[in-house]
Amino acid sequence: MNTVEIKKLEGIIEAILFAMGDSVELSKLAAAIEHDEETTRRILHQMMDRYDQEDRGVRIIELEDAFQMCTKREMYEYLIRVAKQPKRYVLTDVLLETLSIIAYKQPVTKLEIEKIRGVKSDHAVNKLVEYDLVCETGRLDAPGKPILFGTTEEFLRRFSIQSADDLPALNPDQVESFKEEAEEEAQLKLDI
Protein backbone atom coordinates (compact mmCIF):
# COMPACT_ATOMS: atom_id res chain seq x y z
CA MET A 1 0.00 0.00 0.00
CA ASN A 2 1.33 3.44 -0.84
CA THR A 3 1.18 6.50 1.42
CA VAL A 4 -1.76 8.07 -0.45
CA GLU A 5 -3.86 4.93 -0.05
CA ILE A 6 -2.99 4.63 3.65
CA LYS A 7 -3.94 8.31 4.21
CA LYS A 8 -7.28 7.69 2.49
CA LEU A 9 -7.98 4.63 4.66
CA GLU A 10 -7.02 6.56 7.80
CA GLY A 11 -9.43 9.31 6.77
CA ILE A 12 -12.23 6.79 6.35
CA ILE A 13 -11.51 5.19 9.73
CA GLU A 14 -11.27 8.60 11.40
CA ALA A 15 -14.62 9.69 9.92
CA ILE A 16 -16.32 6.48 11.05
CA LEU A 17 -14.96 6.67 14.61
CA PHE A 18 -15.80 10.36 14.90
CA ALA A 19 -19.35 9.97 13.57
CA MET A 20 -20.19 6.85 15.56
CA GLY A 21 -19.06 8.24 18.92
CA ASP A 22 -19.14 4.78 20.51
CA SER A 23 -16.70 1.95 19.93
CA VAL A 24 -16.74 0.26 16.53
CA GLU A 25 -15.81 -3.38 16.12
CA LEU A 26 -12.59 -4.08 14.23
CA SER A 27 -14.47 -6.39 11.84
CA LYS A 28 -16.84 -3.56 10.85
CA LEU A 29 -13.96 -1.14 10.30
CA ALA A 30 -12.18 -3.74 8.19
CA ALA A 31 -15.31 -4.32 6.12
CA ALA A 32 -15.76 -0.55 5.65
CA ILE A 33 -12.24 -0.06 4.26
CA GLU A 34 -12.35 -3.40 2.43
CA HIS A 35 -9.21 -4.83 4.04
CA ASP A 36 -8.49 -7.69 6.42
CA GLU A 37 -8.59 -7.19 10.20
CA GLU A 38 -4.81 -7.45 10.62
CA THR A 39 -4.18 -4.63 8.13
CA THR A 40 -6.95 -2.55 9.68
CA ARG A 41 -5.54 -3.05 13.19
CA ARG A 42 -2.07 -2.04 11.94
CA ILE A 43 -3.48 1.16 10.38
CA LEU A 44 -5.36 1.95 13.60
CA HIS A 45 -2.24 1.48 15.73
CA GLN A 46 -0.27 3.77 13.38
CA MET A 47 -3.02 6.38 13.80
CA MET A 48 -2.97 5.95 17.59
CA ASP A 49 0.82 6.46 17.68
CA ARG A 50 0.65 9.52 15.44
CA TYR A 51 -2.15 11.10 17.51
CA ASP A 52 0.04 10.68 20.62
CA GLN A 53 3.17 12.04 18.91
CA GLU A 54 1.31 15.08 17.57
CA ASP A 55 -0.25 15.73 21.00
CA ARG A 56 -3.76 15.93 19.55
CA GLY A 57 -6.85 16.69 21.65
CA VAL A 58 -8.37 13.34 20.73
CA ARG A 59 -7.06 9.82 20.80
CA ILE A 60 -8.13 6.40 19.64
CA ILE A 61 -8.49 3.71 22.27
CA GLU A 62 -8.76 -0.05 21.85
CA LEU A 63 -11.48 -1.89 23.75
CA GLU A 64 -11.20 -5.66 23.23
CA ASP A 65 -11.83 -6.06 19.49
CA ALA A 66 -13.21 -2.54 19.00
CA PHE A 67 -11.84 0.99 18.67
CA GLN A 68 -13.21 4.34 19.78
CA MET A 69 -12.22 7.96 19.29
CA CYS A 70 -12.38 9.98 22.48
CA THR A 71 -11.10 13.16 24.08
CA LYS A 72 -7.75 13.03 25.84
CA ARG A 73 -8.11 13.15 29.60
CA GLU A 74 -5.97 16.31 29.76
CA MET A 75 -8.61 18.17 27.73
CA TYR A 76 -11.53 17.60 30.12
CA GLU A 77 -10.90 20.87 31.95
CA TYR A 78 -11.37 22.81 28.70
CA LEU A 79 -14.50 20.87 27.76
CA ILE A 80 -16.01 21.67 31.15
CA ARG A 81 -15.40 25.39 30.60
CA VAL A 82 -17.44 25.27 27.41
CA ALA A 83 -20.13 22.95 28.80
CA LYS A 84 -20.68 25.21 31.83
CA GLN A 85 -21.44 28.25 29.67
CA PRO A 86 -25.20 28.70 29.47
CA LYS A 87 -26.68 28.51 26.01
CA ARG A 88 -27.99 31.83 24.80
CA TYR A 89 -31.24 31.53 22.97
CA VAL A 90 -32.36 34.42 20.86
CA LEU A 91 -36.10 34.85 20.77
CA THR A 92 -36.77 36.78 17.59
CA ASP A 93 -40.05 38.59 16.95
CA VAL A 94 -41.22 35.60 14.91
CA LEU A 95 -40.44 33.19 17.75
CA LEU A 96 -42.08 35.45 20.34
CA GLU A 97 -45.17 35.82 18.18
CA THR A 98 -45.42 32.06 17.70
CA LEU A 99 -44.75 31.40 21.38
CA SER A 100 -47.47 33.83 22.46
CA ILE A 101 -49.99 32.15 20.14
CA ILE A 102 -49.13 28.76 21.59
CA ALA A 103 -49.21 30.07 25.17
CA TYR A 104 -52.65 31.67 24.82
CA LYS A 105 -54.30 29.10 22.53
CA GLN A 106 -52.80 25.83 23.85
CA PRO A 107 -53.22 23.09 22.98
CA VAL A 108 -52.90 24.28 19.39
CA THR A 109 -51.91 22.73 16.04
CA LYS A 110 -49.41 24.18 13.56
CA LEU A 111 -52.29 24.79 11.15
CA GLU A 112 -54.09 26.95 13.73
CA ILE A 113 -50.85 28.85 14.42
CA GLU A 114 -50.36 29.41 10.70
CA LYS A 115 -53.95 30.65 10.30
CA ILE A 116 -53.34 33.25 12.99
CA ARG A 117 -49.88 34.27 11.76
CA GLY A 118 -50.72 34.04 8.07
CA VAL A 119 -47.43 32.31 7.24
CA LYS A 120 -45.79 28.88 7.63
CA SER A 121 -44.61 28.30 11.19
CA ASP A 122 -42.64 25.05 10.97
CA HIS A 123 -39.26 26.67 11.65
CA ALA A 124 -40.55 28.78 14.55
CA VAL A 125 -42.31 25.86 16.24
CA ASN A 126 -39.28 23.60 15.76
CA LYS A 127 -36.97 26.24 17.30
CA LEU A 128 -39.30 26.66 20.27
CA VAL A 129 -39.31 22.87 20.77
CA GLU A 130 -35.49 22.88 20.52
CA TYR A 131 -35.35 25.65 23.16
CA ASP A 132 -37.66 23.52 25.37
CA LEU A 133 -40.25 26.30 25.59
CA VAL A 134 -42.87 24.28 23.67
CA CYS A 135 -43.59 20.56 23.44
CA GLU A 136 -46.02 18.14 21.86
CA THR A 137 -48.99 17.65 24.17
CA GLY A 138 -50.89 15.07 22.15
CA ARG A 139 -52.79 14.72 18.90
CA LEU A 140 -56.05 16.26 17.77
CA ASP A 141 -58.85 13.75 17.16
CA ALA A 142 -59.28 14.81 13.53
CA PRO A 143 -58.22 13.49 10.12
CA GLY A 144 -54.45 13.19 9.96
CA LYS A 145 -54.22 13.38 13.75
CA PRO A 146 -52.31 16.71 13.80
CA ILE A 147 -49.89 17.31 16.66
CA LEU A 148 -51.00 19.61 19.46
CA PHE A 149 -48.46 21.98 21.01
CA GLY A 150 -48.34 23.59 24.43
CA THR A 151 -45.86 25.34 26.68
CA THR A 152 -43.41 23.56 29.00
CA GLU A 153 -42.22 24.00 32.58
CA GLU A 154 -39.14 25.68 31.12
CA PHE A 155 -41.46 28.29 29.55
CA LEU A 156 -43.02 28.94 32.97
CA ARG A 157 -39.55 29.22 34.57
CA ARG A 158 -38.21 31.57 31.89
CA PHE A 159 -41.22 33.87 32.07
CA SER A 160 -41.54 33.63 35.89
CA ILE A 161 -45.13 32.41 35.99
CA GLN A 162 -46.65 29.48 37.85
CA SER A 163 -49.09 28.38 35.17
CA ALA A 164 -50.46 29.45 31.80
CA ASP A 165 -53.45 30.84 33.72
CA ASP A 166 -51.08 33.51 35.09
CA LEU A 167 -50.43 34.97 31.62
CA PRO A 168 -51.49 38.61 31.39
CA ALA A 169 -55.05 39.01 30.17
CA LEU A 170 -55.44 40.48 26.72
CA ASN A 171 -57.08 43.88 26.57
CA PRO A 172 -60.43 43.43 24.73
CA ASP A 173 -59.88 46.71 22.82
CA GLN A 174 -56.47 45.48 21.67
CA VAL A 175 -57.94 42.15 20.58
CA GLU A 176 -60.54 43.99 18.50
CA SER A 177 -57.81 46.19 17.00
CA PHE A 178 -55.76 43.10 16.09
CA LYS A 179 -58.82 41.52 14.43
CA GLU A 180 -59.44 44.64 12.35
CA GLU A 181 -55.78 44.78 11.26
CA ALA A 182 -55.85 41.10 10.31
CA GLU A 183 -59.07 41.53 8.32
CA GLU A 184 -57.63 44.57 6.48
CA GLU A 185 -54.46 42.63 5.72
CA ALA A 186 -56.46 39.65 4.45
CA GLN A 187 -58.57 41.94 2.26
CA LEU A 188 -55.43 43.53 0.79
CA LYS A 189 -54.09 40.08 -0.10
CA LEU A 190 -57.38 39.20 -1.77
CA ASP A 191 -57.37 42.42 -3.79
CA ILE A 192 -53.91 41.69 -5.18
Give per-residue pLDDT as tens, 112-141: 999 988 899 999 999 999 999 999 999 998
Q: Candidates 1.10.579.10, 3.90.950.20, 3.30.499.10, 1.10.10.10; correct CATH number of 93-191?
A: 1.10.10.10
pLDDT of 178 > 70? The answer is no
**Quick one: which of 164, 111, 109, 112 has its CA closest to 133?**
164
pLDDT of residue 190: 66
Q: What SS3 state is found at 135?
A: strand
pLDDT digit string (tens) for 48-57? 999 999 989 9
Taking the domains of the chain in order of start, what are their residue ranges?
A: 3-76, 93-191
Helix axes 93-105, 110-117, angle to 10 degrees: 120
Amino acid identity of residue 62, one-letter, is: E
Alpha carbons within 13 angstroms on the beta-carbon side of residue 98 total 25
CATH placement of domain 3-76 = 1.10.10.10
Q: How confident is the model at residue 189 (pLDDT cuts 50, 70, 90)?
A: low
Same fold? 3-76, 93-191: yes
pLDDT of residue 44: 95
pLDDT of residue 84: 77
Mean of the pLDDT values across residues 175-192? 68
Which residues are paired to 150 by β-bridges? 135
Lowest mean per-residue pLDDT among 19-33, 75-89, 137-151: 75-89
pLDDT of 86 > 70? The answer is no
